[in-house]
A and B are shown apart, each in its own frame.
Chain A
Amino acid sequence: MEQAILFEEFARARAPQMANVLGLTMGGPTVIAHGTDEQKARFLAPILSAEEMWCQGFSEPDAGSDLAALKTRAVRSGDEYVVTGQKVWTTFAHRSKWCMLLARTNPDAPRHRGLTYFLMDMEQDGVDVRPLVQITGEAEFNELFIEEARIPAANVIGGVDNGWRVAITTLMHERAGLAFALQARVQVALAELADELRGTTDPLIRQRFAQVAIEAQALRLLAYRGLTRGGEPGPEGSLGKWLWADINQALTTLALDVRGADAQVVSDPWTFRFLRARANSIEGGTTEILKNIVAERVLGLPRG
């Protein structure tokens, strides 16, 4: 709750995104839920102070929505694990100290049961970070090439071969916590667009603006209702992430439409925002996967 209020106030003050957002919203909560006392003592404080930045190594080139298909291998060798594989879409990898790494420790087990959740030190020779230039022209994400990187066994979170459960905790916090921060940013973007549209008489633009504003209110309230229920965020968090993606895409599209022919010229942040928003319905769980989660886990519909 306090984190939610803080994010809202940061957004309202139009402050830049908080440093170490992945550590704060995902890494910290995961260590709190599944870490040992030693791990909590070691990792939590530097997350809060942003002395140690965090990134997330889940997705792979051949394991996106089907995350459990991941191939990165971790083999025990004495007191440590030796890891080899490739990760992709690793936000902030180039500035991070720790990577929340999901790797296969038991290739013979059913695929969800052979995964382990590690905290990997990014500052080592076996880890090569290559920026991935995206449609905005910026490189916010990275590819991660891991060649015999070393991770102490003490950095396993939640037990060997129990990584899927731990990863679900991270993903639920990503959808609930991060979506909360992002919904606050939607409110700010909406206020900016309102300033621009003040006094406009075009009924179609007024209708579209109002619809986005209404949905943004619904998103804010859904996020608060999730907090009231308390405890670990559940599958309903998927609703917020899904709705947020829809709203941010509609909002940035509206801004470009308002510019009309001028939208062909890149002259303000809305072009970047529009392009960046294309990823909203893909990153952190595609809208299709989120609909599956709502259908199966909330409504109890049978799996396809």
Chain B
Amino acid sequence: MNFDLTDDQREIQRTARAYLGERYTPEMVRAIAFGGRPDPYWSEIAELGWPDVADLGTVELAVVAEELGYALAPSPLASHWAARLLYPGLQGRGTLAVDGGPAPHADGADVVVLARDEGVFAVADPEIEPLRALDATRPLFAVRANGGVRVEVPPLAWEGVAVAAAAEAVGVAARVTGMAVEYAKERRQFGRPIGSYQAVSHACAQMYLETEGARSLTYWAAWALDHDPEQAPLAAACAKAYASDAAVHVCRSALQVHGGIGFTWEHDLHLFLKRAESSARAFAAPREQRERVAELLLRAT
């Protein structure tokens, strides 16, 4: 039995970490999010094959999604994946809007997949209107469309969407835990690093616990989607609920550890916090995922 990534998966992780880190520097992320600069890397990412979920295993997809969160990449890749998982026949770039909610990165999308109570529909070039997004690294659009092509959603597609979102949250949690720990080592008050105080160090330990818990659940769910479909619905709901919460808890607690500087626009922390808070509420919030867990475990027999 092995509960670790394979050598190939580690290689993808290293590649994605280096690739995304070099391109989506903090300056580039801000230029795209606030400076109106278009994301210059979509075609390059397409050449790497990452948008084509059919060619990636779910674990590999989770590995890349974690790195997207770690880099805070303002890339349409994650929303394209969500659309593509629900609509495997999708041509070009897609995005997803659920229950009349906003569609991320709809401005550059060829197809918007609309999930509604009555079914899932694909619409090419719908009318869109930009919204003011809490997370500026993920621009949001209101979508107005009637009809569209009805899409046959493959089994466990929603679980795939949940796992990708969970993995991205793990990346955010891991990056921000690291930021908080580094700051707690450097920042001195009363003549000592603040990380030597238990009120601060225990907060950091809690961040680490939740990040590792989230990572464990996410890779279990990713693995289950590829190898143990019976477990996948439970695992995916557990992963999304816990990982979304973990990213949110870590970002809030890290802001407290950073003190005033973490509250400034200049510091990058608020960008991560907004990603965590925003993503947690997309594709079924933790409360809904927990209800799904309860439904699966408390079903009358």
Is A304 in contact with B196, judged by CB distance below 8 angstroms? yes
> Is A197 located at the chain interface by the 8 A CB criterion?
yes
Is A295 in contact with B241, judged by CB distance below 8 angstroms? no
Interface residues of A in 2-57 (CB under 8 A from B): none
> Is B213 located at the chain interface by the 8 A CB criterion?
yes
Neighbouring B residues of A225 by C-beta, 8 Å = 3-4, 216
Complex Cα spacing A295 to B204, Å: 7
> Is B9 located at the chain interface by the 8 A CB criterion?
no
Query: Which of A59-67, A152-160, A203-211 is the contact stretch?
Result: A203-211
Given contacts A301-B184, A302-B193, A304-B197, contact A210 B3 (CB under 8 A): no
> Is A288 located at the chain interface by the 8 A CB criterion?
yes
Categorize the interface residue count of chain A: 35 or more
Chain A 264-304 interface 0/1 with B at a Cβ cutoff of 8 Å (1 = within): 00000000000000000000000010011011101111111
**Of all chain B residues, which has the CB nearest A304?**
B196
8 Å CB contact of B195 from A215, A228, A288, A302 = A302
> Is B208 located at the chain interface by the 8 A CB criterion?
yes
Neighbouring A residues of B216 by C-beta, 8 Å = 218, 221-222, 225
Query: Which of B262-270, B275-283, B286-294 is the contact stretch?
Result: B286-294
Is B217 in contact with A214, judged by CB distance below 8 angstroms? yes
**Of all chain B residues, which has the CB nearest A290?**
B205
Complex Cα spacing A209 to B294, Å: 7
**Of all chain A residues, which has the CB nearest B196?**
A302
> Is B201 located at the chain interface by the 8 A CB criterion?
yes
Is A228 in contact with B2, judged by CB distance below 8 angstroms? yes
Is A301 in contact with B201, judged by CB distance below 8 angstroms? yes
Categorize the interface residue count of chain B: 35 or more
8 Å CB contact of B209 from A198, A209, A227, A243 = A243
8 Å CB contact of A228 from B3, B290, B294, B298 = B3
Neighbouring B residues of A211 by C-beta, 8 Å = 241, 290
Is A304 in contact with B201, judged by CB distance below 8 angstroms? yes
Is B242 in contact with A215, judged by CB distance below 8 angstroms? yes
> Is A217 located at the chain interface by the 8 A CB criterion?
yes
Is B300 in contact with A300, judged by CB distance below 8 angstroms? no
Is A218 in contact with B213, judged by CB distance below 8 angstroms? yes
8 Å CB contact of B212 from A207, A213, A222, A300 = A222
Complex Cα spacing A196 to B79, Å: 40
Neighbouring B residues of A219 by C-beta, 8 Å = 213
Report the minimum CB–CB distance from B85 to chain A (whole Å).
22
> Is A117 located at the chain interface by the 8 A CB criterion?
no
Neighbouring B residues of A213 by C-beta, 8 Å = 238, 293, 297
Is B1 in contact with A217, judged by CB distance below 8 angstroms? no
- Which of B2, B3, B192, B291 counts the most chain A CB atoms within 10 A? B3
Chain B 181-207 interface 0/1 with A at a Cβ cutoff of 8 Å (1 = within): 100110000001101111001101110
Q: A-B pairs with the 10 shortest C-beta distances?
A: A221-B216, A295-B201, A210-B290, A218-B213, A206-B294, A210-B293, A301-B195, A294-B205, A228-B3, A291-B205
- For this complex, 9 residue pairs linking A to B, each with C-beta atoms less than 8 Å apart, are A194-B297, A209-B294, A215-B242, A242-B209, A291-B201, A291-B205, A291-B206, A299-B205, A301-B193
Residues of A within 8 A of B (CB): 1, 194, 197-200, 203, 206-207, 209-211, 213-215, 217-219, 221-222, 224-225, 227-229, 236, 239, 242-243, 288, 291-292, 294-296, 298-304
